[in-house]
């Protein structure tokens, strides 16, 4: 395996991991927002404020 091929493969792996991390971060953020919204809704219901 040539040096260039090795570097390209490593770069691809890094990009791929970065891509996966971005997806995970987005999914985490979205689910976190949904959880927060759900918490706020139930808090409103408990306090009797109409939503």
**What are the pLDDT digits (tens) for 5-44?**
766 777 777 888 778 778 777 887 877 788 788 888 887 7
CA pair distance 13, 33, nearest whole angstrom: 30
pLDDT of residue 46: 76
pLDDT of residue 1: 55
| In the chain, where the domains are located | 1-46
The pTM of this model reads 0.38
User: What one-character-per-residue DSSP string does 9-51 give?
Assistant: HHHHHHHHHHHHHHHHHHHHHHHHHHHHHHHHHHHHHHHT---
Residue 4 is given by DSSP the state H
pLDDT of residue 48: 75
CA pair distance 22, 32, nearest whole angstrom: 15
pLDDT higher at 10 or 3: 10
Closest CA to 13 of 2, 25, 21, 23: 21
């Amino acid at each position: 395996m040539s040096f260039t091929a090795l570097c390209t493969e490593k770069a691809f792996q890094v990009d791929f991991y970065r891509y996966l991390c971005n997806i995970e971060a987005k999914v985490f953020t979205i689910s976190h927002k949904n959880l927060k919204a759900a918490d706020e809704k139930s808090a409103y219901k408990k306090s009797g404020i109409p939503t």
